[in-house]
Structure 1
Amino acid sequence: MPSNTPTQKDIAEAARVSGSTVSRALRNDPTIPSETRERIMRVARDLGYRPNPFVNANMLNVRRPNRKHTKAILAYITPIPLNEYFAIVPQREISYNGACKRADELGFQVDPVPIKENGVYLSSRRCTEILLARGVQGIVFAMFENPYVRFHLDWDRFAVATHDFRMVQPRFSEAGSNHYLNTQKILRNLNHLRYKRIGLAIPARADRYTQGAFSAAFCLYRDTQPKVNQIARFTPSALKDWNRENFLSWYKKAKPDAIICISDDILSWLQDAGVSVPQDVGLASLAWEREKEPAGWSGIYQQHEMVGAAAVQLVVDQLMLNERGKPRYPKTILIDGEWVPGSTLCQQGL
């Protein structure tokens, strides 16, 4: 029985162009004028054309200029070389490994591409040249300290996603930790453990990086509690104000019985002041790390490997659908964290 599914040949006849032009237009090939691409895509939509993702996956390898590689290449862009990047924040390596594992499962290879040399960003033209020379069709941007960094690559040539940060301009699909839900999860566990006067102590910079998710979840919970248990946050805006003296001043005034934090500084400041954890005050980390486990921290593990994998999945999904460039409606995947109990909290509610 003949199929009624329209083909690229049908699109070519309806649009009065060649089959190769249709093929390239449906891949968003920038060598085809934008008006022609839009007209061909409009014809394809009108005919009800749907690309075959299995064919697309195979063609990704066929079209690569460098055939000696057995897998299509995804660039993993970092601001500095990987070894330096991992040394600053160890969990970044976990995200990278998660990205590599997922890429391998999907038949891709991840190539790290640092775009900063001697403290200076590569030019957009040079960066695009490097990516194209390597046969890159998909890009994962890892965490950048400054989300306001602007890139001007030839975006129409690539499928792009970010992880653990939101690129302000241009906006792409992103994968990250569900910081709002993770904060709520900590609060629920502290409530279950019978903590009443719960405080939040994080640098304002960390909160801004999550678009205020930490503070939003905390304030919503705090404002539903009895007035006697409502504690002001310790979230200094200036980094110079994030110090032992200011924190201890807040602690003595607020008198929390548990503190949600993100920095090891809090534990050392309390211990130096003779405050016992968890006997005098409990601590729960918004960024639990495996490296903290010997110290017995309680907190949220942000599932870094799953975040890296999700970013790769976003890029591969675009490639399968022949989508390139800046998306009209970027997608966001948020990964829920895992609660990890530890000795920085008293198990008084169990």
Structure 2
Amino acid sequence: MKERVTQTDIARAAGVHNTTVSLSLRNSRLIPLETRERIQSIARSLGYSPDPALRALAAYRNACRQQRRAETLVYLTRGDTRQGWRQSPVEGIYFTAAERRATELGFNFRHMWLDEPGMNPRRLDRMLAHEGIRCLLLAPHLPIGETLDTMDWSRLCAVRIGNSSLLAPDLNQVSTDVGAIVRLALRQVLLAGYQRPGLVLPRRTDELADRTWSAAFGAEQYRRNLPSLPVLLLPDSPVECSHALVSWHRLHRPDVVLGVSPLVRPLLRQSGFEVPASVAYVDLLLQDVLGTLAGVQGNHARIGELAVELLNAQLEKNQFGLPTVPTITSVAGRWCDGASLPSRRPATDEQPAAILPANLVA
């Protein structure tokens, strides 16, 4: 059996000390970039691969070892007030889960508000550098491309939370799997006997998510050969919202509304639609799991935890700055039955036929 290439072999080939090889393979910035790249290239040419068992042992020992100085992880938010973002239940869950997981991993967890009086991206950048803070979690509501372009990302280890792939800088992110949520919801809607589903959400919500909600819904309409009801993107004005909803419903006659906002369900009521008597309703960001509403409950706590775990993994690998190829970790949700989507099928009815065109599968 061919012997495993060791770091000693790499050190001998590169003409450097074993410690230099070890630090270079961990991408440590204690070693000049040119030297790191040269040693990593030599390691690849020799066929070096780390021993998974030894790596697991090292990770375990590092986790058990008491750190002399804990890293500080900053959770960055913005808004009209310091705690205004907590009005969104989902964002509160993200924050709480991230704080809990960060504490478990040994971080000092700290909230910073970008819109604090006197604060701006350049001052934030200086504060982080002065305090030696290298770890940053960006909350989902941040209009990142508009505010943080001027920061020095090369010394930061950062991760984004939420669906906002359109906005720069391109950091690794953890977010809801919008496509999976829409597919799951429409599958349940069709199984319940509905035939004309329509999607309603605030225009701003779709824009911040890089239009993934409307795109996913349109793709499923085509894939399942459903009536092409246009997505209703609600305007900012509450009065205009109600008028738009009534006009849209009158013109397109959906038998079930899929909503992507806590505003949609009350808006239906305010506009004169009784759920489910007038129209059935499915909440794609379900918070109420008491059986009143049907919908998909996102695993928001897991998203917050995974964001911290991803950041911690980047830190351990010395991956600072903007990634060359940004990644998106998508987290699926789970279906919850509810009274807002009563079945239209007799109890003895079989599974619906021809939900999909013949050349497609579920």
| TM-score interval for Structure 1 and Structure 2 normalised by the shorter chain | 0.7 to 0.9
Match of 2:264 in 1: 266
Paired residue for 1:346?
A: 342
Provide the secondary structure at the position in 2 that maps to 1:263. Answer: coil
Q: State percent identity of aligned pairs.
A: 26
Given that 1:198 and 1:259 are in contact with CA atoms closer than 8 Å, whether structure 2 keeps it comes out as yes
Deviation at 1:106, TM superposition (A): 3.5
1:325 aligns with 2:321: yes
Matched, 1:38 2:37: yes
RMSD of aligned Cα (Å)? 3.5
1:254-313 C-alpha deviation (Å, 9 max, x unpaired): 111100112344333433343321011011112112xx4569222111111011111112
Q: Deviations over 1:63-95 (max 9, x none)?
A: 97xx4x5x4433322236995144331221211
- Secondary structure of 2:137 counterpart: strand
* Counterpart contact for 2:79–2:85, Cα < 8 Å: no
TM-score, L = length of structure 1? 0.80
Letter in 2 for 1:300: V
Specify the alignment match of 2:352 in structure 1.
Answer: none
Equivalent residue, structure 2, for 1:79: 78
Contact 1:116 1:122 in 2 (8 A): no
In 2: Cα distance, 1:81 partner to 1:36 partner? 47
Alignment of 1:130-209 (within 5 A): 130-149=127-146, 150-166=148-164, 168-209=167-208
C-alpha spacing 1:196/1:151, structure 2 compared with 1 (3 Å): same
Higher relative contact order (CA 8 A, sep 6+): 1
Write the letter of the residue equivalent to 1:259: V
Displacement of 1:118: 2.2
Amino acid at match of 2:259: C
Q: 1:43 to 1:73 in 2, by over 3 A?
A: farther
What is the CA-CA distance between 1:120 and the residue it aligns to? 4.5
> Which stretches in structure 2 are left out of the alignment for 5+ residues?
348-362
TM-score (norm 2): 0.78
Q: In the superposition, relative to structure 1, how do residues 10 and 94 fare at CA in structure 2: closer, same or farther (>3 Å)? A: same
* Structure-2 change in CA distance of 1:45 and 1:156 (3 Å): farther
Task: Tell me: CA distance 1:74–1:57, structure 2 relative to 1, closer, same or farther (3 Å).
Answer: farther
Map of 1:198-347 to 2, 5 A cutoff? 198-223=197-222, 229-236=227-234, 239-240=236-237, 243-289=241-287, 292-293=288-289, 296-347=292-343
Give per-residue Cα distances to partners, 1:39-80, cap 9 Å, x unaligned. 23333444526494654776799997xx4x5x4433322236
| Paired letter, 1:38 | E
Q: Deviations over 1:106-141 (max 9, x none)?
A: 344433233332275231xx4344335555443322
Is the Cα contact below 8 Å between 2:11 and 2:18 reproduced in 1? Answer: yes
Aligned equivalents of 2:337, 2:212: Cα separation in 1: 22
Report the CA distance shift for 1:80/1:202 in structure 2 as closer, same or farther (over 3 A).
Answer: closer
1:55, 1:190 → 2: CA distance?
A: 49
Cα contact 2:159–2:172 (8 A) shared by 1? yes
Per-residue CA deviations over 1:16-45 (Å, capped at 9, x if unaligned) read 456665565555455654333322333344
Q: 46-55 vs 194-203, which deviates more?
A: 46-55
Matched, 1:112 2:111: yes
CA distance in 1, matches of 2:337, 2:291: 12
- SS of equivalent residue, structure 1 residue 288: coil
Closer, same or farther: CA 96–264 of 1 in aligned 2, 3 Å: closer
Q: 1:268 to 1:325 in 2, by over 3 A?
A: closer
Q: Deviations over 1:191-214 (max 9, x none)?
A: 111111111111232223333322
Do the aligned partners of 2:93 and 2:301 also contact (CA within 8 Å) in 1? yes
How far apart, CA to CA, are the structure 2 residues paired with 1:337 and 1:321? 30
Shift in CA distance, 83/36, structure 1 to aligned 2, threshold 3 Å: same
Structure 1 Cα separation of the partners of residues 249 and 161 of structure 2? 34
Report the Cα distance in structure 1 between the residues aligned to 2:320 and 2:50, rounded to whole angstroms.
16
Question: Contact between 1:82 and 1:112, CA under 8 Å: does it hold in 2?
Answer: no
Structure-1 residue corresponding to 2:98? 99
Q: How many residues align?
A: 337
Is contact 2:245–2:271 with CA below 8 Å preserved after alignment?
no
Aligned-partner residue type, residue 72 of structure 2: I
Q: 1:45 to 1:160 in 2, by over 3 A?
A: farther
Q: What letter matches 1:172 in structure 2? A: L
Q: Secondary structure at the match of 1:271?
A: helix
Counterpart amino acid of 1:319?
Answer: L
In structure 2, the residue corresponding to 1:259 is in which secondary structure? strand
